[in-house]
Amino acid sequence: MNKAVEIQSPGVTLSVDPDWWRGAVIYQIYPRSYQDSNGDGIGDLLGIVDRLPYIASLGVDAIWISPFFTSPMLDFGYDVSDYCDVDPMFGVLADFDAVIETAHSLGVRVMIDLVLSHTSEKHAWFQESKSDRTNDKADWYVWADPKPDGTPPNNWLSIFGGPAWHWNGRREQYYLHNFLVEQPDLNLHSPAVQEELLNVGRFWLDRGVDGFRLDTINFYFADKELRDNPPLPVEDRNASIAPSVNPYNHQLHLYSKNQPENLDFLQKFRAMMDEYPAIASVGEVGDAQLGLELLGEYTAGDTMMQMCYAFEFLAPVKLTAARVQEVMTKVDAVAADGWACWAFSNHDVVRHASRWSLSTEAQRGLCTLLMTLRGSACIYQGEELGLSEADVAFEDLQDPYGVEFWPEFKGRDGCRTPMVWNAETANGGFTNGTPWLPVSQDHLPNSVAEQEKRDDGLIHHYRKAIALRRNTACLAKGDMVDLTVSGDVLSFVRVYGEDQIFVAVNMSDTPGSIQMPNGTWTQLGTELNSAGWADDGSVELGPWQPCIALKSV
């Protein structure tokens, strides 16, 4: 599809480029923590509706809403018990329709988080599947007989700790759970399961969503033979997917995920999306060793997913000019025909302001970098405020991951605390009740209301950087060439048709310098503190300062 189409919502017509996703800026909402509309201390869909004008003011192309489906909430919505309904804590389906209508009226698209690799144990499918070995859904989950000694069928481990298998006495078999025991893995080798999941996608597309964020996209299939995973050499281990204290890092997950059958299913999923106009998906690739290679496979050509993101820029390792060059060079090698979606923070990792110990100046520089890299971009709620990781006491923890590995790993609650809107109102304006997680007192000085008052508020920089990207097709959609590192300065050229844009970012707290490429250039991004250059083409860059320039034809 190459023509613009019109997306219809109740009373709304939204003109959409079918390639809107290419270079898009997507704002992630963790609904429990965004805005509470009814005083129960938990964010909800009507709270999102109330805050959509703010989101639109940032200039983003779309929102991604983390799961709001019916769920026992043991993993906060990522344990789904009904894919086609809203959990009462978030509202009702009519509230979701209001999100769609309001977002579209403001020119913002809506993507939702689909969790297709596993369900809750409370899901009706699993309740039937576990009842015996002969029911209609007996093969809808990954079941396996024990070894002769009664132990699990293989050595696979759960991301949340311990074996990835749990015994069911009624079937006298183990079921696979790559995450919590209460999150059994679906068996996508079953055609019936695949079709039902495609129908789930159609259900939400029929309600007007513009696309999906696909959770753990590389976990959809497990090896049919259930072969043991090999050990991972110590030198190859990293903590980008699981904390270092987790034995999950001791295996190369060769058979428990990343299976070749996934490619066929993703093509089916893309074909289902193509039944509707201007739909896009971004897949989460959870793999510490093969993330970029899988990104390349899953986004290649026009029959797979539009975008995927790996964890290279979500990992603890410090983001330096050399690191960015390393990652982007590898993308060129293994995913040249694909499309990445980059993020520095999300609901599963320590906020990058804390993870990399960033000053406000550094956060401005990285925001500029994110909006000039080839690929699309996700920003996580509160990132535009410069929020740090909150310190959540053990007695206030909600995340089972943190409870399991405390204190070496404190879980994910520190990046999930409520959004702060106004320092002068109760709980930062998030709720009139008792918030499900404490509002960080350290966050209040950086609330939306406080930053709006300040000319130097980080929020204003995000708006300007997003606007430059949206208004400059070369930055949104162009190729990237001439990727160079000089000291702490990263530079590259974006190319789109006849347009060329030079970008350099000093990724350090000390001054740096670089030489402009040959040619005649016009300075861009002065509102982002973009540096000029001397007559000899030399550029002096302050700490975290960019230089952005358009080449004259």
Q: Which two tokens stand for residue 39?
A: 């005083």
Q: 435 vs 294, 346, 443, CA distance in Å? A: 39, 20, 15
How many angstroms separate the CA atoms of 396 and 410, rounded?
11
What is the DSSP secondary-structure string of 41-88? SS--HHHHHHHHHHHHHHT-SEEEEPP-EE---TTTTSS-SEEEEE-T
How many angstroms separate the CA atoms of 424 and 390, rounded?
19
Average pLDDT of the residues in 342-366: 98
- With a cut of 80, say whether residue 10 has pLDDT above it: no
pLDDT score recorded for residue 364: 98
Instruction: Output phi, psi for 10, to 5 deg.
Output: -55, 110
Burial letters for 377-398: b for 16+ Cβ neighbours within 10 Å, e otherwise?
A: bbbbbbbbbbbbbbebeeeebb
Q: Does 161 fall in a domain?
A: no
The reply to whether 407 and 544 lie within a common domain is no
The reply to whether 418 and 535 lie within a common domain is no
Q: What is the pLDDT of residues 185-216, one digit of tens each?
A: 999 999 999 999 999 999 999 999 999 999 99
Q: Does 411 fall in a domain?
A: yes
Average pLDDT of the residues in 509-521: 97
Domain count, the chain: 2
Q: Which two tokens stand for residue 435?
A: 């918030």
Distance of CA 495 to the CA centre of its chain: 26
Please choose, from the candidates 274, 278, 260, 346, the residue with its C-alpha nearest in 3D space to the C-alpha of residue 303.
274
Please choose, from the candidates 54, 53, 82, 56, the residue with its C-alpha nearest in 3D space to the C-alpha of residue 67.
82
pLDDT score recorded for residue 239: 67
The reply to whether 326 and 230 lie within a common domain is yes
pLDDT score recorded for residue 553: 77
Q: Does 163 fall in a domain?
A: no
Catalytic residues: 215, 275
- With a cut of 70, say whether residue 9 has pLDDT above it: no
How many angstroms separate the CA atoms of 89 and 105, rounded?
25
Q: Which residues pair with 15 in a beta bridge?
A: 6
The reply to whether 481 and 455 lie within a common domain is no
Lowest-confidence region among 9-23, 248-262, 380-394: 9-23
What is the DSSP secondary-structure string of 351-365? -HHHHTT--HHHHHH
Q: Does 236 fall in a domain?
A: yes
The reply to whether 489 and 450 lie within a common domain is no
- Do 165 and 152 contact (CB within 8 A), yes or no? yes
Name the residue range of residue 306's domain. Answer: 24-121+188-469
In angstroms and rounded to an integer, the radius of gyration of the C-alpha atoms of the chain is 23
Q: What is the pLDDT of residues 232-276, one digit of tens each?
A: 998 888 766 667 788 999 999 999 999 999 999 999 999 999 999
Average pLDDT of the residues in 474-491: 98
Q: Does 149 fall in a domain?
A: no
Q: Does 484 fall in a domain?
A: yes
Lowest-confidence region among 27-41, 399-413, 415-429, 538-552: 399-413
pLDDT score recorded for residue 403: 87
Examine the fold and report which residue of 469, 487, 515 is the final residue of a domain before the chain moves on.
Answer: 469
User: Within a 13 Å sphere around the CA of 204, how many CA atoms are in the beta-carbon half?
Assistant: 31
Examine the fold and report which residue of 426, 448, 469 is the final residue of a domain before the chain moves on.
Answer: 469
CATH number of the domain within which 524 lies: 2.60.40.1180
pLDDT score recorded for residue 288: 87
How many angstroms separate the CA atoms of 427 and 419, rounded?
9
CATH number of the domain within which 105 lies: 3.20.20.80
Average pLDDT of the residues in 434-455: 97
Average pLDDT of the residues in 207-232: 97
Q: Does 85 fall in a domain?
A: yes
The reply to whether 462 and 496 lie within a common domain is no
Q: Does 435 fall in a domain?
A: yes
- With a cut of 90, say whether residue 525 has pLDDT above it: yes
Q: Which residue has the higher pLDDT, 111 or 241?
A: 111
Q: Which residues pair with 282 in a beta bridge?
A: 213, 307
What is the DSSP secondary-structure string of 217-243? GGGS---TT-PPPPB--GGG--SSSS-
In the structure, what pLDDT confidence band is assigned to residue 402 with cuts at 50, 70 and 90? confident
The mean of the pLDDT values for the chain is 95
Please choose, from the candidates 36, 89, 78, 72, the residue with its C-alpha nearest in 3D space to the C-alpha of residue 401.
78
Could you give the percent of the chain with pLDDT greater than 90? 91
The reply to whether 427 and 542 lie within a common domain is no
Examine the fold and report which residue of 436, 469, 502 is the final residue of a domain before the chain moves on.
Answer: 469
User: Is residue 203 within a helix (H) or strand (E), and if so which, with residue range?
Assistant: helix 191-206
pLDDT score recorded for residue 246: 85
Could you give the percent of the chain with pLDDT greater than 70? 96
Average pLDDT of the residues in 464-480: 97
How many angstroms separate the CA atoms of 111 and 209, rounded?
6
The reply to whether 543 and 463 lie within a common domain is no
pLDDT score recorded for residue 241: 65
- With a cut of 90, say whether residue 7 has pLDDT above it: no
The reply to whether 233 and 369 lie within a common domain is yes
Entry field: residues in the chain? 553
The reply to whether 195 and 233 lie within a common domain is yes
- With a cut of 80, say whether residue 6 has pLDDT above it: no
Contacts of 389 (CB under 8 A, 6+ apart): 350, 351, 353, 354, 355, 414, 415
The reply to whether 245 and 367 lie within a common domain is yes
The reply to whether 414 and 522 lie within a common domain is no
